């Protein structure tokens, strides 16, 4: 008797504690019917007691992103979904199995984090925007000064021009990133690949100035569907990196080829390569393997972040294979839905 009272009291404590959790918790039976939920679930998911006890969760959340996710099997956690109980809140939701085919739905309110992220994005965008005009003025005046008129300051002037150009490039890259971050969709247009690839080759040659062997292999016979400006910027960033991180005498190959589930644009080089420990962090802003090498070659440290964002907007994936001292391959995998027949006006 004593034992069962102790058990009942522990159970009550557990429920009381769970009901106070800031995350929404819903216990579901085998049929995904609601067995129990806490206060946060009332607030965030809009569940009501006692009516919703025993109700099928999917039906109870009908019309919401969460219901669609449950309907599709909820295999992966759902990120950034609008809270069914509060339109101004966003949730990260996961479904965990427990007991005998029962499930636990957990929803974490990320609105606060999202707001902080928005403040960070706005701050970066505003600072970059504010810096643009003064930098343009400084750059303009520096261009007006003729080193021949002041030979003793020629070296200083040269360095000032290089640095002001670098600052200008950083500001432009930050503004591009801000725009890409706030953009959730792109306006799809046909991007003819033959001229774009020819431009890539020309850009590589111009940057290399004869120091590398540049090869273009285009066998995909496919155009892309997406944003011409953003795709140009992403594909050309990879070419520029290959040239900048490959010593004189190396070769660079730009490829556009078919794979079973789409097409791949890749840039291979025989350059310095990258140690495996760096690969996962390479697309972070300002992450560089070697700061001096990046700076000396005119890098801003933002190129691969831009590439990643542009590819995300096109539902494409970036793959990096590299070996120090041997070279690197940066590949962009585009799905079938992004491919168009050149010259035609049909989607494939």
Under the binding rule (CB under 6 A), the answer on residue 241 touching ligand ADP is yes
**Which residues, at least 6 apart from 56, have a Cβ–Cβ distance to it below 8 Å?**
31, 32, 33, 34
> If phi over 0 gives left and psi between -120 and 50 gives alpha, with beta otherwise, what is residue 221?
left
Exposed/middle/buried for residue 324 (C-beta within 10 Å: 0-12, 13-18, 19+): middle
Q: What share of the chain is helix, strand, coil (3-state, %, to 5)?
A: 45, 25, 30
Q: Of 247-276, which residues contact ligand ADP (CB under 6 A)?
A: 269, 271-274
Alpha-carbon radius of gyration of the chain = 27
Only segment of 4-12, 50-58, 83-91, 302-310 that touches ligand ADP (CB under 6 A):
302-310
CA-to-CA distance for 171 and 177, rounded, in angstroms?
10
Only segment of 130-138, 196-204, 218-226, 300-308 that touches ligand ADP (CB under 6 A):
300-308
What's the min distance (Å) between Cβ of 238 and ligand ADP?
Answer: 7
Nearest to ligand ADP of 319, 341 (CB atom): 319
Nearest to ligand ADP of 60, 212 (CB atom): 212
What's the min distance (Å) between Cβ of 57 and ligand ADP?
Answer: 43
Nearest to ligand ADP of 108, 278 (CB atom): 278
Under the binding rule (CB under 6 A), the answer on residue 28 touching ligand ADP is no
Under the binding rule (CB under 6 A), the answer on residue 289 touching ligand ADP is yes
Given CA atoms 167, 169, 172, 173 in this order, what sign does their dihedral have? negative
Q: Of 306-345, which residues contact ligand ADP (CB under 6 A)?
A: 328
Under the binding rule (CB under 6 A), the answer on residue 301 touching ligand ADP is yes
At 135, phi and psi to the nearest 5? -65, -40
CA-to-CA distance for 295 and 129, rounded, in angstroms?
23
Under the binding rule (CB under 6 A), the answer on residue 226 touching ligand ADP is no
What's the min distance (Å) between Cβ of 129 and ligand ADP?
Answer: 21
**DSSP H or E stretch at residue 235:** helix 228-244
Q: Which two tokens stand for residue 237?
A: 């960033």
CA-to-CA distance for 204 and 159, rounded, in angstroms?
25
Q: DSSP assignment, residue 347?
A: B
What's the min distance (Å) between Cβ of 271 and ligand ADP?
Answer: 5
Nearest to ligand ADP of 37, 245 (CB atom): 245
Size of residue set near ligand ADP by CB under 6 A: 22
Under the binding rule (CB under 6 A), the answer on residue 169 touching ligand ADP is no
What's the min distance (Å) between Cβ of 168 and ligand ADP?
Answer: 14
Instruction: Please measure the distance between the N-terminal and C-terminal CA atoms of the chain and give it in whole angstroms.
Output: 72
Only segment of 50-58, 61-69, 71-79, 235-243 that touches ligand ADP (CB under 6 A):
235-243
Q: Which residues bind ligand ADP (CB under 6 A)?
A: 237, 241-242, 245, 269, 271-274, 282, 287-290, 294, 299-304, 328
């Amino acid at each position: 008797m004593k034992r069962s009272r102790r058990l009942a009291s522990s159970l009550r404590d557990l429920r009381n504690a769970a009901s106070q959790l800031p995350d929404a918790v819903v216990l579901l039976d085998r049929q995904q019917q609601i067995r129990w939920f806490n206060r946060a679930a009332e607030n965030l998911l809009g569940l009501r007691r006692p009516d919703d006890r025993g109700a099928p969760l999917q039906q109870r959340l009908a019309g919401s992103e969460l219901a669609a996710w449950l309907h599709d099997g909820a295999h992966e956690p759902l990120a950034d979904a609008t809270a069914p109980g509060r339109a101004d809140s966003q949730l990260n939701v996961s479904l965990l199995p427990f007991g005998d085919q029962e499930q636990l739905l957990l929803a974490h309110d990320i609105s606060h984090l999202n707001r902080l992220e928005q403040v960070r994005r706005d701050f970066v965008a505003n600072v970059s925007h504010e810096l643009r005009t003064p930098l343009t003025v400084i750059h303009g005046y520096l261009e007006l000064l003729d080193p021949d008129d002041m030979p003793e300051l020629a070296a200083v002037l040269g360095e000032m021009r290089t640095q002001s150009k670098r600052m200008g490039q950083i500001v432009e890259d930050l503004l591009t990133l801000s725009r890409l971050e706030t953009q959730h969709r792109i306006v799809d247009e046909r991007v003819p690949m033959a001229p774009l690839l020819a431009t890539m080759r020309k850009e590589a040659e111009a940057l290399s100035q004869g120091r590398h062997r540049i090869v273009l292999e285009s066998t995909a016979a496919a155009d892309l569907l997406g944003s011409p400006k953003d795709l140009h910027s992403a594909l050309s960033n990879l070419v520029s990196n290959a040239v900048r991180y490959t010593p004189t005498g190396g070769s660079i190959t730009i490829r556009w080829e078919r794979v079973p589930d789409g097409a791949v644009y890749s840039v291979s080089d025989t350059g310095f390569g990258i140690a495996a420990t760096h690969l996962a962090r390479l697309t972070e802003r300002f992450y560089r393997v070697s700061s001096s090498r990046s700076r000396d070659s005119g890098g801003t440290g933002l190129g691969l972040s831009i590439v990643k964002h542009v590819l995300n907007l096109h539902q494409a994936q970036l793959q990096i294979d590299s070996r120090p001292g041997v070279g690197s391959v940066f590949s962009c995998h585009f799905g079938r839905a992004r491919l168009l027949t050149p010259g035609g006006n049909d989607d494939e």
